[in-house]
């Protein structure tokens, strides 16, 4: 059964590692992605949309993991490690039946589903359109629609929303780009 795994790679080498994984494995047996986010950045007084990794240094893949697959992935030069239970403190399995499958730390499907819902087909989280009226946040459109409760802060100046996401065993705040709508006198308060 295919499960989700996180691979820790050298900085700025996420795309290279993803390409190499897709070259080494049959595409029907692996799904690989580097989640990215589109955010506004100001440089020399000009604001441009920039694509940045959501989790710098990580590549995510859905695959049936066993030791053979693990060593093939580890053979990729830019790979530092596949997250697993190699730490004695974390290792709570014995070498019984199912040992290989239990050895590797998979990411729960629910966590990945939340992330995949945010991304487009190129694994990019695009801008969401946000209306703020009397400090009440309403997501009008975009990947954050319906997730108002998970937004912890809106930075109007930088045009970014801080989204709280449960991921890889802890809560992470992720900066995502937004387009702010100016409230009008007839804008409904929700």
Tokens of 35: 């989640």
**pLDDT over 90 (residue 39):** yes
Q: Which two tokens stand for residue 117?
A: 């819902």
In tens, the pLDDT along 147-156 reads 999 999 999 9
pLDDT at site 101:
67
Cβ contact 30:22 at 8 Å: yes
Q: State yes or no: pLDDT of 86 exceeds 80.
A: no
pTM: 0.86
Task: Please give the domain boundaries of the chain with CATH numbers for all domains.
Answer: 1-124 (3.30.70.940), 127-190 (no CATH)
- C-alpha 12: how far from its chain's center? 15
* SS3 state of residue 190: coil
Angle at 38 between CA 48 and CA 183, to 5 degrees: 80
172 has which bridge partners?
165
Is residue 87's pLDDT more than 90?
Answer: no
Reduced to 3 states (helix: H, G, I; strand: E, B; else coil), residue 76 is: coil
3: β partners:
63
Pair 106, 4: CB distance under 8 Å? yes
Residue entry with tokens 């030791």: 67
Q: At 136, give phi and psi (nearest 5°).
A: -100, 125
> CA separation (Å) from 103 to 32, 40, 70, 88?
20, 40, 11, 12
pLDDT at residue 103, as a whole number: 77
Residue 82 has a pLDDT of 93
Residue 28, CB-side half-sphere exposure with 13 Å CA sphere: 0
């Amino acid at each position: 059964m295919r499960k989700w795994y996180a691979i820790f790679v050298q900085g700025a080498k996420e795309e290279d590692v993803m390409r190499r994984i897709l070259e080494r494995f049959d595409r029907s047996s692996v799904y690989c992605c580097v989640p990215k986010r589109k955010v506004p950045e100001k440089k020399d007084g000009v604001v441009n949309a920039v694509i940045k990794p959501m989790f710098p240094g990580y590549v995510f893949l859905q695959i049936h993991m066993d030791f053979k697959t693990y060593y093939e992935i580890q053979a990729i030069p830019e790979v530092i490690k596949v997250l697993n239970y190699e730490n004695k403190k974390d290792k709570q399995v014995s070498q019984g039946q199912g040992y290989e499958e239990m050895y590797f730390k998979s990411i729960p499907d629910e966590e990945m589903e939340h992330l995949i819902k945010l991304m487009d087909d190129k694994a990019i989280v695009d801008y969401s359109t946000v209306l703020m009226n009397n400090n009440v946040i309403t997501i009008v459109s975009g990947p954050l629609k319906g997730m108002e409760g998970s937004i912890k802060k809106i930075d109007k100046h930088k045009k970014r929303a801080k989204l709280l996401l449960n991921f890889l065993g802890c809560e992470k705040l992720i900066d995502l780009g937004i387009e702010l709508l100016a409230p009008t006198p007839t804008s409904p308060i929700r």
